[in-house]
Amino acid sequence: MPIFVLIGPPSLSPVVVNLIRRVGEILAIVVAETLAQARDAAEHVDIEYTPIEAVVDGLSALSDGLSVL
């Protein structure tokens, strides 16, 4: 019988799908048989993103027009 440990909401993927929420999130995973293959594959990963302005206090977070993460 498998045992599953859930951390956080089940709707969140361990790898970013469409929206980066914080620094340090996993953006891509490379799987290969050798280190050389992994390094070669990693060089082909291309991530494009548009930065959004950070909100660092609760009062500002209540403003209209901000992105909801």
The predicted pLDDT at position 2 comes to: 58
Rounded CA separation 21/4 (Å): 25
Single-letter code of the amino acid located at 67: S
The predicted pLDDT at position 35 comes to: 95
- Convert the pLDDT of each residue in 3-55 to its tens digit: 655 565 655 677 887 888 778 888 889 999 999 999 999 999 998 888 888 78
Helix/strand/coil (H, E, C) string of 2-41? CCCCCCCCCCCCCECCCCCCCCCCECCCCCCCCHHHHHHH
Cα of 19 vs its chain's centroid, Å: 7
The predicted pLDDT at position 7 comes to: 62
